[in-house]
Amino acid sequence: MIQIRSVSKSFNGTKVLDGLDLDIPRQNVVTVIGPSGSGKSTLLRILDFHEQADSGTVDFGDGPVDLTTTNTADIRKVRSKIGFVFQNYNLFLNKNALQNVAEGLIYSRGVKPEQARKIALEQLDRVGLADFADRYPSTLSGGQQQRVGIARAVALNPELLVLDEPTSALDPEMVTGVLEVIKQLGQDGMTMLMVTHEMRFAYEASSSVVFIEGGHVVEQGDPKQIFEHPTQQRTAEFLSSTNNVLMIPAAA
């Protein structure tokens, strides 16, 4: 179990996260939903020390690490456990797909180039892009670029894969391929913390859905419960305000 505790963060005096607690069981896909501006991206960025929390800890089972720390050894330790998939892929445009995936292995993990290349090819194959290894990002579709982004994060063998709206920059016809890759990773036992505004996606890919608002968790449960029988009024109101929810298959 990965435990996130008491995470708070204010920007310019406005509290965005207010003592948020979250548990991520190993080999589960935990999906965070909530209104725009509710601090979802901030939470993910704090976990990876891209943003400094005002308070809070994360514990991967080897003791809590203070999320306000500036100790580089602690930061490196946590970062080495997390793979990050960005909304806008963040690929190196001057490197091909293989180089994009191999890069982190070589430079942050000290893997020998030949071995890194081999791992990168395996991971590209896993996301259905074995034949695209030498293609540059500008020649790939958004969905393919995002699958390279996923392969790059997974190649580092993280304990936790964090995905911030992995499909929100994609045309609708590209979403399915990325969804399938993420579902497969989940079935392969990858522990994931994902933010998405695609409710069908959350419904299909998650073991657990967390609704956050006002800086804390309003409700957490399995997807069926959250989407079909939310216990909190606020969750029901949020879901009815997103027309996405209509895409849930009625007989599921």
Q: Binding residue for ligand ADP (CB under 6 A) from 29, 33, 39, 226?
A: 39
Which CB, 46 or 120, lies closer to ligand ADP? 46
154-213 residues near Mg ion, rule: CB under 5 A: none
Nearest distance, CB of residue 38 and Mg ion, angstroms: 9
Which CB, 50 or 229, lies closer to ligand ADP? 50
Nearest distance, CB of residue 174 and ligand ADP, angstroms: 21
Angle between helices 172-187 and 142-155 (to 10 degrees): 20
Does 41 engage in binding with Mg ion (CB under 5 A)?
yes
Which CB, 179 or 195, lies closer to Mg ion? 195
Does 42 engage in binding with ligand ADP (CB under 6 A)?
yes
User: Cα(159)–Cα(181) distance, rounded to whole angstroms?
Assistant: 17
Give the number of residues written for the chain. Answer: 252
Residue spans of beta strands (DSSP E) within the chain? 2-11, 14-24, 29-33, 55-59, 64-66, 82-85, 160-164, 192-195, 208-213, 216-221
User: Cα(200)–Cα(94) distance, rounded to whole angstroms?
Assistant: 35
Does 16 engage in binding with ligand ADP (CB under 6 A)?
yes
Count of other CB atoms within 10 angstroms of residue 245: 16
Does 38 engage in binding with ligand ADP (CB under 6 A)?
yes
Amino acid letter for position 191: T
Residue 197 tokens read as 């505004």
Which CB, 52 or 108, lies closer to ligand ADP? 52
Question: What are the residues binding Mg ion (CB under 5 A)?
Answer: 40-41
Question: What are the residues binding ligand ADP (CB under 6 A)?
Answer: 11, 16, 34, 36-42
